[in-house]
């Protein structure tokens, strides 16, 4: 064993020990959510495992894993739903699990999601702990776990996998590991279209570091990550690696469809997905106010959007590190300003965990007993809502 390996192993062990309370809290919340889903589904004569692994997007991912790309559904209104809309990393992992174990593709998706959700929780803790300290890190993880749509973290969807890659890429940026950050950004870009947010964070941090170094030699900023010999080369390589995943898949889809570099946009248009600056979403909300019962839903939507925007403003005022601000800003903008299915917007915001840090800080200042009671009550509400949601309209 080399000296380097001997130095790295204890560091990782210490990181895991430090994160243990956060991970235990996360597992407890998610177990409660799965228990509530199991009981609710059984009462309604449904199978909870099927809801988690074999409905909505989970079916599309398993089809890609089993049959590859090329499957599409043509709807009576002329829309074409192609599986090219789904990025390949999760199906690749599902196929890998199925090939090396007796698990099915759907089982593989569930296993990957469970492991990735733990990795995501650990990554969120690492970022929050690095910026604000251990107690805030624990609170940030449990807040992410108790989100109303937190049940998605346990589904055979790509949100958990993407959040894990994004969180650890951001942590690598905060600690000056440029090649690691770029590699994880590449993988995030192979997971979801919002991988662009991770790429933007890598580029923003890289450009800022290069400008800072050029203007002042070595930055005196105490918050800047430590620099090692050869850092500029690794920094540039990390920046070059970051967009290769998303760009590579988008260009491949364009070649596959014969429609050039913008072919992926045509695939998304077949799903009625696009970026219109929020016009379609604003019109959707406005239509809720045409009658009294739906007006209450309209008010709820406005309150929810206002809260998200307010949290981002607080993040800016608290001067979160640039990579976190860029990442959270891009994720939020893509979620709120896309013309996709509006019921999916809370799920699309799930990876924007830096928005939770302004809430985690006051929670961390509470006494342990008070914080545990508050989080426990919210966790019960989240578990019940998740069970109700998946047995009803669900994600997709």
For the segment 162-180, the average pLDDT, to the nearest whole number, is 96
- Is residue 5 helix, strand or coil? helix
Mutual orientation of helices 105-132 and 57-67 as an angle, nearest 10°? 120
Q: Phi then psi for 40, rounded to 5 degrees?
A: -65, -45
Q: Supply the pLDDT for residue 105.
A: 96
Q: Please provide the DSSP assignment of 182-229 as one string.
A: HHHHHHHHTT-TTHHHHHHHHHHHHHHHHHHHHHHSS---TTSPP--T
Compute the distance between CA of residue 264 and CA of residue 323 in angstroms, rounded to an integer: 27
Q: Where is pLDDT greater, at 115 or 80?
A: 115
Tokens read off for 307? 């809260």
SS (H, E, C) 284-336: HHHHHHHCHHHHHHHHHHHHHHHHHHHHHHHHHHCCCCHHHHHHHHHHHHHHH
Q: Supply the pLDDT for residue 241.
A: 97
Q: Note the residue count of the chain.
A: 396
Rounded to 5°, angle at Cα 89 from 58 and 247: 120
Number of neighbouring beta carbons within 10 Å of residue 138: 27
Nearest CA among 90, 101, 285 for reference residue 190: 90
**CB proximity list for 236: less than 8 A, separation 6 or greater:** 206
Tokens read off for 367? 């006494």
Mind listing the pLDDT tens digit for each residue in 5-48?
A: 333 445 777 888 999 999 999 999 999 999 999 999 999 999 99
- Is residue 338 helix, strand or coil? strand
For the segment 324-350, the average pLDDT, to the nearest whole number, is 89
SS (H, E, C) 62-87: HHHHHHCCCCEEECCCCCEEEHHHCC
Q: Supply the pLDDT for residue 260.
A: 87
Cβ contact 353:150 at 8 Å: no
Position 2 pLDDT exceeds 50 = no
Mind listing the pLDDT tens digit for each residue in 378-387?
A: 999 999 999 9
Q: Supply the pLDDT for residue 384.
A: 96
Compute the distance between CA of residue 206 and CA of residue 118 in angstroms, rounded to an integer: 28
Q: Which of 154-163, 261-270, 347-356 has the lowest mean pLDDT?
A: 261-270
Average pLDDT, rounded, for the chain: 90
Rounded alpha-carbon distances, angstroms, from residue 384 to 114, 149, 150, 371, 381: 20, 11, 11, 20, 5
For the segment 329-346, the average pLDDT, to the nearest whole number, is 85
For the segment 67-94, the average pLDDT, to the nearest whole number, is 92
pTM (2 decimals)? 0.91
Compute the distance between CA of residue 150 and CA of residue 152 in angstroms, rounded to an integer: 5
For the segment 337-348, the average pLDDT, to the nearest whole number, is 80
- Is residue 275 helix, strand or coil? strand
């Amino acid at each position: 064993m080399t000296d380097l390996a001997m130095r790295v192993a204890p560091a990782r062990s210490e990181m895991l020990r430090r994160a243990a309370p956060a991970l235990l809290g996360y597992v407890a919340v998610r177990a409660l959510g799965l228990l509530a889903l199991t009981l609710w589904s059984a009462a309604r004569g449904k199978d909870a495992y099927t809801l988690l692994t074999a409905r909505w997007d989970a079916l599309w991912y398993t089809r890609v894993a089993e049959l590859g790309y090329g499957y599409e559904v043509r709807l009576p209104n002329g829309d074409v739903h192609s599986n090219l809309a789904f990025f390949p990393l999760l199906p690749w992992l599902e196929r890998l699990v199925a090939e090396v174990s007796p698990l099915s593709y759907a089982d593989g998706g569930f296993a990957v999601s469970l492991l990735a959700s733990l990795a995501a929780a650990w990554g969120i803790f690492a970022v929050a702990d690095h910026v604000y300290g251990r107690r805030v890190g624990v609170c940030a993880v449990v807040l992410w776990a108790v989100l109303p749509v937190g049940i998605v973290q346990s589904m055979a969807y790509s949100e958990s996998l993407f959040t894990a890659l994004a969180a650890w890429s951001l942590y690598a940026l905060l600690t000056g590991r440029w090649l690691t950050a770029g590699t994880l950004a590449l993988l995030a870009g192979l997971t979801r279209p919002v991988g662009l947010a991770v790429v933007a964070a890598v580029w923003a941090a890289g450009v800022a570091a290069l400008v800072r170094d050029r203007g002042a030699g070595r930055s005196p900023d105490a918050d800047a990550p430590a620099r090692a010999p050869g850092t500029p080369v690794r920094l540039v390589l990390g920046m070059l690696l970051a967009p290769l995943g998303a760009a590579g898949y988008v260009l491949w889809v364009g070649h596959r469809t014969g429609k050039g570099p913008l072919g992926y946009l045509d695939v998304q248009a077949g799903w009625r997905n696009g970026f219109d600056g929020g016009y379609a979403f604003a019109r959707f909300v406005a239509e809720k106010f045409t009658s009294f019962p739906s007006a209450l839903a309209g008010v709820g939507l406005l309150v929810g959007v206002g809260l998200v925007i307010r949290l981002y403003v607080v993040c800016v005022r608290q001067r979160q590190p640039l990579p976190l601000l860029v990442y959270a800003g891009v994720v939020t903008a893509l979620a709120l300003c896309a013309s996709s299915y509006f019921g999916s917007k809370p799920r699309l915001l799930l990876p924007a965990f830096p928005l939770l840090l302004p809430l985690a800080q006051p929670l961390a200042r509470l006494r342990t007993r008070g914080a545990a009671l508050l989080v426990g009550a919210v966790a019960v509400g989240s578990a019940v809502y998740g069970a109700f949601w998946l047995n009803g309209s669900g994600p997709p």
